[in-house]
């Protein structure tokens, strides 16, 4: 059976992926699927299993490096509105894994719910944020999660709650195929005060990062008690570049991809930075960037 048979309304072939990633780099996906609901997603996963196709989930592409040669197999994106609802009931918020984290932050702050305001300015989806426990200034999303609905690679939907969930610095134990939705338990607060706090954080964050219109990604996690950016600078790497990829002059832990940049340039620059920082400080930087 042809892989796309019966799925033609939500699967495309040879889809260029660069425009889905913040770095604007990367080849094509053999199959690119945007299912309309969980039943279609489950059917797609079943077909992947039957035909032994590898399958990956794309969120907002803000923490992703896609190789120049592209992806053989299937890339799934939860772009349909059925995956991005945001419903608020008192201090409980139910949101889809495909919802933009920024929409959840602004909706909850506007309703006077405290907890997510420090996550302002973090790009990407709720699913991506939960998978990598996105955070800022010592706060992270995991702290507010009471349950998560996931879909396994077999297409089974499961709820994970309470003690089953583990969040640590930029990590979670949410490793099933898809994070479909989550329930967040926030605290009540004052909308005007929360908005002020959020705006302040936003200004500080923007000033410390490259311009969002650039093609960018964060390279490394911060080692304990020190920022990766300051280690990179102190290692004398401020002006480091490979091909059309350089470190940002606003924050040395970001790469900026110029016209014609290749994924291999990013990987080589990453390796150069990692080995130089290790040589100078004896510290092994680790990356949180997903590489496909």
Least distance to ligand FAD, CB of residue 2, Å: 26
The C-alpha atoms of residue 72 and residue 155 are separated, in whole angstroms, by 21
Least distance to ligand FAD, CB of residue 208, Å: 9
128 binds ligand FAD (CB under 6 A): yes
Least distance to ligand FAD, CB of residue 240, Å: 19
78 binds ligand FAD (CB under 6 A): yes
b/e for 82-114, b at 16 or more Cβ within 10 A?
bbbebebeebebbbbbbbbbbebbbbbbebbbb
**Is-catalytic flag, 170?**
yes
Give me 133's structure tokens.
């426990």
205-224 residues in contact with ligand FAD (CB under 6 A) are 209, 212, 216-218
**Active-site residue among 47, 100, 170, 274?**
170
Q: How does strand 92-96 pair with strand 86-89?
A: antiparallel
Q: Quick one: CA dihedral 188, 201, 167, 44, positive or negative?
A: positive
- Could you tell me which stretch among 47-55, 129-137, 255-263, 266-274 binds ligand FAD (CB under 6 A)? 129-137
Query: 88 and 105 in contact (C-beta within 8 Å)?
Result: no
263 binds ligand FAD (CB under 6 A): no
Least distance to ligand FAD, CB of residue 282, Å: 26
- Total site size for ligand FAD, rule CB under 6 A: 33
Task: List interacting residues with ligand FAD (CB under 6 A).
Answer: 22, 56-64, 78, 97, 122-125, 127-129, 131-132, 134-136, 170, 178-179, 209, 212, 216-218, 290
């Amino acid at each position: 059976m042809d892989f796309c048979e019966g799925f033609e309304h939500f699967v495309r072939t040879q889809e260029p992926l660069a425009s889905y990633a913040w770095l604007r780099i990367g080849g094509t996906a053999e199959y690119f699927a945007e299912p309309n609901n969980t039943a279609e997603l489950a059917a797609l996963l079943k077909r992947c299993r039957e035909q032994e196709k590898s399958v990956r989930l794309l969120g907002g592409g803000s923490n992703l490096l896609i190789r120049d040669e592209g992806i053989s197999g299937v890339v799934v994106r939860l772009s349909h509105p059925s995956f991005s609802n945001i419903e608020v009931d008192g201090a409980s918020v139910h949101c889809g894994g495909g919802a933009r984290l920024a929409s959840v932050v602004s909706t909850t702050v506007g309703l006077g719910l405290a907890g997510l305001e420090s996550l302002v300015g973090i790009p990407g989806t709720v699913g991506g944020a939960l998978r990598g426990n996105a955070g800022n200034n010592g706060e992270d999303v995991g702290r507010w999660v009471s349950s998560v609905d996931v879909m396994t690679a077999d297409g089974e939907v499961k709820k994970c709650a309470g003690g089953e969930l583990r969040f640590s610095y930029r990590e979670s134990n949410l490793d099933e195929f898809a994070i479909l939705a989550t329930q967040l338990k926030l605290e009540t607060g004052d909308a005007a005060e929360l908005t002020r706090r959020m705006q302040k954080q936003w200004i500080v964050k923007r000033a410390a990062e490259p311009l969002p219109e650039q093609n960018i990604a964060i390279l490394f996690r911060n080692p304990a008690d020190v920022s990766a950016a300051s280690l990179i600078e102190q290692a004398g790497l401020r002006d480091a570049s490979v091909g059309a990829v350089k470190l940002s002059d606003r924050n040395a832990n970001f790469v900026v991809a110029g016209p014609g940049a290749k994924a291999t340039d990013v990987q080589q620059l990453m390796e150069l930075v990692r080995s130089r920082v290790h040589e100078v400080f004896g510290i092994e930087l680790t990356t949180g960037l997903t590489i496909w």
